[in-house]
Amino acid sequence: MSRIKTAFLDLGYMDTLSNRDTPVHNLDPRAKLLTTLIFIITVISFGKHEISALVPFFIFPAAIISIGNLPFYYLFRKLLIVTPFAIMIGIFNPLIDREILMHIGSFSISGGWISFASIMLRFALTAGSVLVLIACTGFNSVCMALDKMGAPRIFAVQLLFLYRYIFVLINEASRVANARSLRSFDGKGKGIKVFSYLLGHLLLRTIDRAQRIHLAMLCRGFDGEIKIRRRLNIGTKEVLYTLTWSAFFILMRIYNVSQLAGKFLTEFFL
Amino acid sequence: MHMADALISPAVGGTVWAASAGLIAYCSKKVRDDVDDIKIPLMGVAGAFIFAAQMINFTIPGTGSSGHLGGAMILSILLGPYAAFLTMASILTVQALFFADGGLLALGCNIFNLGFFPCFIAYPFIYKLIAGEKPTQNRILLGATTASILGLQMGAFGVVLETLFSGISELPFGTFVLLMQPIHLAIGIVEGIVTASVVSFVWKSRPELIQKAPLASPANRISFKYVLAGFLVATVLTGGVLSWFASSHPDGLEWAVFHTTGKEELEAPGHKVYSLLEKIQEKTAFLPDYNFRTTKEVEAKEQEVVMDSGTTVSGLVGGALVLVFAAFIGFALKKRSGTGSHL
């Protein structure tokens, strides 16, 4: 019950975040989408034992979070919820790859732990950047961007439809689940039989709803072709944003900034 | 089941992405050409239904754990494979964007594993074969259960292969298969039974919904062949191009070797020659990783062990420094944008 409500409120909250008025929010969604994609590709193109060179990449999400005035702890918590999958697959690396790769004093670290740390860093960077993208862009704008960037119109419309009706249906499903849990004691009635009746009814109502929507669309002149009317424009700001960040990512891909900084620091003081 | 960006390589991610994008384009064309334009709102609402349905759990008898409805098979049965594939793709996109479940680049893999296999393999070749032209209650039950189970097995195997080819995880093929397949067999059985029971409920109350769906978009064998062929060409092309690109920095160790030796060229000039030769060999070799990987990896590892801890320490110190710097930038910008917003 509480989970349903939380998930629903969550979607709504991300939507609220994307309506803020900051320099990042006002950029064209295409620029942001492209930059995030370049960011992800650069991050995952590193070798599996890379750690230090990945760290500087945190500058990108950090910068967007602060300029976009986004709640860091909220996004961080969202990230934590999905960590188990990366841990589940990654944790086998330390078990399998036990070859010692690194010594720090008398402490030695195996290749597996290094690659595990690398996986977790990549995960935080890639998943974090996507959350940041949505929080400062909004789902509808991302769909528009996809449409403008050449994705099939039907797919973009499908995404918009889905997003519109998720709110409606999650509300309905939460009422159903609520009603069931109020009537079930000792876990009775939570089995598969009642479940499939509930879902079946929900599905039938959903199909009826789709028919009503279709009729409403026909009344408004729908002829099988969907028209999206929203102007997006790429200006100097967008070009600058994408190019600067991309150049920055590529530079960080070529030069290990952490290593350089560390070298400078250790040589300077030692 | 959802793959994450952290576990795939750009070559694998890009290749499967291209395949999935091609399928989305193809299915979009198919759905657009469909005479029955009620599919367009129906797909959207059905996708939202799958989402909502995942919020309602049921208890699995005897285990105390809970399960929920999987999506692709029920969508295929209701909407036909093309519309179902698009709907699955849109569901996965929302999950990737809002819940960071999967990632942008891994989205291609996820759409392929959870959409292609159930919609284009399990539905036409298993469900329709069992349910037949004139389905009965039992045939629908059997068909939906079997198709869900096998579809999920294929998807899980897809995850194994994609992870393996990416080479980020150390899991060997055998172990990974033994880990993934049985877990997904259990999940598949539960999902299959649920799918079958919901489908049979709909069949009992509104049989025309189940009968109509296959008629609306018949699995056209010939065009499916084209799609497979096109998709093979795309895969080979992108795979070829991307892996050529990727092979100049094939894996972490090789990159690390080149990188560290490149840095230390003044102290050890011999290393430069070594790395140069390696690079030439990599560029010229047909399958660069296959012929010298083992020896090289060992050498690389030896080298890293021998490598004095100065470099590692400087890496760690630098990393910490940069992290602090990133946080600092964050705070500084926040303050600025904070004051800016008051204006």
Percent of chain A past pLDDT 70, that is, above it, reads 93
The verdict on A241 and A224 lying in the same domain is: no
Q: Spell out which residues of chain A touch residue B90, defining contact as CB-CB under 8 Å.
A: 155, 158-159, 162
| A91 and A179 housed in the same domain | no
Is residue A132 included in any domain, yes or no? yes
**Residue of chain B whose alpha carbon sits nearest to that of A173:** B52
- Read off the tokens for B19: 């395949």
Q: Which residues of A touch B105 (CB under 8 A)?
A: 37, 40-41, 44, 126
Same domain flag for A244 and A116: yes
How far A251 CA lies from chain B's nearest CA (Å)? 14
CA-based torsion, A104, A107, A112, A118: positive or negative: negative
Please report the pLDDT score of residue B23 as a whole number. 93
Q: What's the CA gap between B295 and B297, in Å, rounded?
A: 6
> What's the confidence (pLDDT) of residue B221?
43
Contact flag B170-A50 (C-beta cutoff 8 Å): no
Say what percent of chain B tops pLDDT 90: 15
In a domain, A144, yes or no: no
Residue A76, chain B, CB below 8 Å: the answer is no
Interchain pair B100, A176: CB under 8 A: no
Residue B180 has pLDDT above 70, yes or no: yes
Task: With respect to residue A270, please indicate whether it lies within any of the assigned structural domains.
Answer: no
**Would residue A269 count as lying in a domain?**
no
Q: What is the pLDDT of residue B112?
A: 93
Q: Which of B 142-161 lie inside 8 A of A, CB atoms?
A: none
A75: in domain: yes
Looking at the structure, tell me whether residues A31 and A13 fall in a common domain: no
Length of chain B: 343
Res. B89 pLDDT band, cuts 50 70 90: very high
* pLDDT at residue A158 tops 70: yes
Q: Mutate one of B30, B56, B161, B180 to test the A interface: name it (highest A CB count within 10 A).
A: B56
CB A195 within 8 A of CB B56: yes
| Closest chain A residue to the Cα of B314, Cα to Cα | A262
Q: Is B311 on the interface with A (CB under 8 A)?
A: yes
Q: Quick one: pLDDT band at residue B297, thresholds 50, 70, 90?
A: very low
- The verdict on a CB contact (< 8 Å) between A134 and B59 is no
pLDDT value, residue A230 = 64
3-class SS at B66? strand
Residues A176 and A216 in one domain: yes
- Taking all residues of chain B, what is their mean pLDDT, rounded to a whole number? 71
Determine which helix (DSSP H) or strand (DSSP E) holds A58, and give its type and residue range: none
CA–CA separation, B96 and A66 (whole Å): 23
Interface of A with B in 34-53 (CB under 8 A): 36-37, 40-41, 43-52
pLDDT at B116: 93
Residues A60 and A123 in one domain: yes
Whether residues A224 and A189 share a domain: the answer is yes
Q: Which of A25-39, B51-65, B208-222 has the lowest mean pLDDT?
A: B208-222
pLDDT for B257 beyond 60: no
pTM for this predicted structure: 0.74
Across the interface, of A130, A161, A199, the residue whose CB is closest to B100 is A130
**Which of the four pLDDT bands, split at 50, 70 and 90, describes residue B343?**
very low
For B58, the 3-state DSSP assignment is strand
What number of C-beta contacts closer than 8 Å exist between A and B?
A: 377
Question: How far, in Å, CA of B315 to CA of B311, rounded?
Answer: 6
Mutate to test the interface with A, among B16, B30, B104 (most CBs of A within 10 A): B104
More confident site: A58 or A224: A58
Averaged pLDDT, B134-143 = 86
Calculate helix-pair angle for A111-137, A2-17, nearest 10 degrees. 70
Q: Which residues of A touch B301 (CB under 8 A)?
A: 99, 101, 111
Between chains, do B337 and A163 touch, taking CB under 8 Å as contact? no
The verdict on B22 touching A (C-beta cutoff 8 Å) is no
**Long-range contact set of residues B330-333: C-beta below 8 Å, sequence gap at least 24:** B330/A62, B330/A63, B330/A65, B330/A66, B330/A72, B331/A66, B332/A66, B333/A63, B333/A66, B333/A67
CB-based contact, B103 to chain A, within 8 Å = yes
Min Cα distance B263 → chain A (Å) is 10
Q: Which of A134, A152, A119, A125 is nearest to A38 (CA)?
A: A125
Average pLDDT estimate for B215-223: 44
Q: B-chain residues within 8 Å CB-CB of A204?
A: 202, 205-206
Let me know if residue A8 belongs to a domain. Answer: yes
Question: Residue B334: what pLDDT?
Answer: 60
Residues A2 and A74 in one domain: no
Which positions 141-170 of A are in contact with B (Cβ < 8 Å)? 142, 151-155, 157-166, 168-170
Buried b / exposed e over B296-326, threshold 16 CB at 10 Å, is bbeebbebbeebeeebbbbbbbbbbbbbebb
Q: For the purposes of burial, counting CB atoms within 10 Å of the CB of A15, is it exposed (0-12), middle (13-18) or buried (19 or more)? A: middle
The predicted structure's pLDDT at residue B251: 38
B329–A62 CB contact, under 8 Å: yes
- Contacts within 8 Å (CB) and 24+ apart, B64-68: B67/B187, B67/B190, B67/B191, B67/B194, B68/B194
Domains of chain A: total = 2
Q: Which of A85, A166, A266 sits opposite B51 (nearest CB)?
A: A166
pLDDT at A131 over 50: yes
Range of the domain at A3: 1-19+150-228
Q: Are residues A1 and A33 in the same domain?
A: no
Q: At B265, is the pLDDT very low, low, confident or very high (cuts 50, 70, 90)?
A: very low
Does residue B90 sit at the A interface (CB-CB below 8 Å)? Answer: yes
Q: What angle do CA A132, B162, B191 make, to 5 degrees?
A: 80
Mean per-residue pLDDT, A215-242: 81
Cα–Cα distance measured from residue B269 to residue B276, given in angstroms and rounded to the nearest whole number: 11
Top pLDDT among B73 and B268 is at B73
> Do residues A42 and A62 both lie within one domain?
yes
Residue A265 lies in a domain: no
Instruction: Please tell me if residue A89 touches chain B, with a CB cutoff of 8 Å.
Output: yes
Are A84 and A117 within one domain? yes
How big is chain A, counted in residues?
A: 270
Both A222 and A252 in a single domain? no
Q: Give the residue-averaged pLDDT of A60-68.
A: 92
CA atoms within 13 A on the CB side of B21: 16
For an interface test with A, which of B54, B91, B98, B187 has the most A Cβ atoms less than 10 Å from its Cβ?
B98
Q: What is the pLDDT of residue A239?
A: 92
- Indicate if the pLDDT at residue B216 is higher than 50: no
How near does any CA of chain B get to the CA of A244, in Å?
Answer: 16
Show residues of chain A in contact with B170, CB under 8 Å: 92-93, 96-97, 112, 115
The verdict on a CB contact (< 8 Å) between B198 and A151 is: no
- Residues 45-64 of chain B whose Cβ lies under 8 A from any Cβ of chain A: 45-49, 51-53, 55-61
In a domain, A267, yes or no: no
